[in-house]
Structures are given as C-alpha cells and as structure tokens.
C-alpha cells in the first residue's frame, strides 16, 4: 500500500498501543476506519464528477468526429487518383 510491510505495521501498532493505551485503542481504530471510509467516498465522488463532466463528454464527441475525419482522409488518400481533362 504505502511500502509498509508487516514488521513496520507491528511496530506502529505497538507504539500506538503504548501512546494511546489499550482502553482507547478500539475507539481510535473505529475513528481511523471511519476517516478512511469518508476519504474513499470523497475521492469516488470526485472521480465520478470528472467522468461525468460536460467538457469531458464534449471532448469525447470531438475525438469521435476527428477519428471519422481521419478515416475519411485516409480512404481518400488510398483511393486511386484519376484526373479528368475537360476538352471543350
């Protein structure tokens, strides 16, 4: 996750146990869990707002249009060129 292995996690838990105490440890864990849940929820909301943003939708439409233009240009470039001369 953050480059924290099992030994480092155990050391952090022991320090937290000494600093906070065994009676307040469950409350602290519950508070940290709620904070992490709220952070995940907030980041999901931001991600969803970016995905559904009107500018992003417009850019997707522009990309589709440009892709069609490029495909048309390529097919015109690959088509055999014939020249007609008008003799009047």
Give the tens place of pLDDT for each residue, 51-78: 777 777 788 888 888 888 888 877 777 7
- Does the pLDDT value for residue 2 go beyond 70? no
Place of tokens 């050391």: 11
**Eight-class DSSP state of 79:** S
How many residues in the chain? 88
pLDDT at 70: 82
**Eight-class DSSP state of 17:** H
Residue 79: phi and psi, rounded to 5, are: -70, 145
pLDDT at 61: 87
- Does the pLDDT value for residue 40 go beyond 60? yes
Q: What is the pTM of this model?
A: 0.47
Tokens of 43: 């980041």
pLDDT at 87: 59
């Amino acid at each position: 996750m953050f480059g924290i292995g099992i030994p480092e996690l155990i050391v952090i838990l022991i320090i937290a146990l000494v600093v906070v105490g065994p009676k307040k440890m469950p409350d602290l864990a519950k508070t940290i869990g709620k904070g992490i849940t709220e952070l995940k929820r907030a980041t999901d909301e931001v991600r969803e707002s970016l995905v559904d943003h009107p500018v992003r939708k417009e850019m997707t439409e522009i990309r589709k249009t440009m892709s069609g233009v490029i495909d048309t240009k390529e097919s015109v470039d690959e088509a055999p060129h014939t020249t007609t001369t008008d003799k009047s």
